[in-house]
Amino acid sequence: MASSEGVLRQRLGQNITLHPVAYGEEHWLGQCKVSFHSAGHVLGSAQIRLESEGEVWVVSGDYKRDDDPSCEPFEPVRCDVLITEATFGMPIYRWQSGAQVAQDIHAWWSGDRSRPSLLFCYAFGKAQRLLAELKAIGVEEEVLLHGAVETVTRHYRDAGVPMTPSRPVSELPRKDPLHGRLILAPPSAHRSSWMRRFKSPQTAFASGWMAVRGARRRRGYERGFVLSDHADWPGLIQTVRDSGARKVYVTHGQSDVLARYLREVEGVDAEPLETLFEGESD
């Protein structure tokens, strides 16, 4: 999608060949009609609809069903065959709204102004959603960003996504103790040399994996906030129902669990499908 052009060029190279298209716009590849439909995953993410000889297939890619102010909402697409992800394909994964999680994060950050608050999250998608969710609940206080987060966030702002004010933490003097400031950083920065400038920060991680008991402790964070850019269990089931698909292939994540449930409970012909792609890992 045109909105994601800046992010794609940053991540894949400025000179890559891109042909931006609009959601729902139809194109022909030989005898196959192809269109892209919002996946609600990150800025510009899309499902692919393919129609040929009267049969429709949909390849979901990563998607989520929750409201997200940083990207277009998920669009249910009817099809005969659906290929769906299952990153969080177990009944224990059920998400609260992003607004509620943003309220919890703001309370955590505001509750201790005597030290910096480091919130670790994925640099593409999750960090920008957090900034947008904070904006949506009325937070206007400036948030500081790790460099890897800043480079992606710039493209979201260029695309017109409303987010709370932010700037790179590198712009502040190194002697600034940053007490009371919220800093967003990628997981790779946790326990790295980059963290040395922060004195006794409180730390947290925002991820769907925080729904698993022990995950926060295992990763070494003080707090965990359950926020994912993938569909939860109810979202996965609802997507299959909305599609009306007679055949479902389930890829990466808990593919065996979801496929078995679809067969035994939903009465859908479903089976796992091995791919080279791996989803959001623990």
Domains and CATH numbers, the chain: 2-93+230-272 (3.60.15.10), 98-225 (3.40.50)
pLDDT digits (tens, 9 = 90+) for 91-129: 999 999 999 999 999 999 999 999 999 999 999 999 999
In the prediction, which pLDDT does 3 show? Answer: 79
Share of the chain above pLDDT 90, in %: 85
In the prediction, which pLDDT does 280 show? Answer: 54
Q: What is the pTM of this model?
A: 0.93
Q: How far apart are CA 159 and CA 150, in angstroms?
A: 14
Q: How far apart are CA 199 and CA 177, in angstroms?
A: 7
Q: Could you tell me the CA-to-CA distances from 16 to 1, 7, 8, 10, 61 in Å, in that order?
A: 15, 12, 9, 10, 21
| pLDDT digit string (tens) for the chain, length 282 residues | 667 888 888 888 989 999 889 999 999 999 999 999 999 999 999 999 999 999 999 999 999 999 999 999 999 999 999 999 999 999 999 999 999 999 999 999 999 999 999 999 999 999 999 999 999 999 999 999 999 999 999 999 999 999 999 999 999 999 999 999 999 999 999 989 999 999 899 999 999 999 987 777 777 899 999 999 999 999 999 999 999 999 999 998 899 999 999 999 999 999 999 876 655 554
**How many CB atoms lie under 10 A from the CB of residue 24?**
12
In the prediction, which pLDDT does 8 show? Answer: 86
Q: 129: which 2 tokens?
A: 């959603």
In the prediction, which pLDDT does 94 show? Answer: 97
Phi, psi of 177 (to 5 degrees): -70, -15
Q: How far apart are CA 118 and CA 199, in angstroms?
A: 11
Share of the chain above pLDDT 70, in %: 96
**Beta carbons of 225 and 101 less than 8 angstroms apart:** yes
Q: How far apart are CA 159 and CA 163, in angstroms?
A: 11
Q: Could you tell me the CA-to-CA distances from 219 to 8, 111, 177, 224 in Å, in that order?
A: 30, 22, 25, 10
pLDDT digits (tens, 9 = 90+) for 150-188: 999 999 999 999 999 999 999 999 999 999 999 999 999
Q: How far apart are CA 147 and CA 185, in angstroms?
A: 8
Nearest residue to 29 (alpha-carbon basis) of 56, 12, 4, 52: 52
Q: 202: which 2 tokens?
A: 């409180």
In the prediction, which pLDDT does 20 show? Answer: 87
Q: How far apart are CA 17 and CA 185, in angstroms?
A: 30
Which helix or strand (DSSP H or E) is residue 156 part of? Answer: helix 147-158
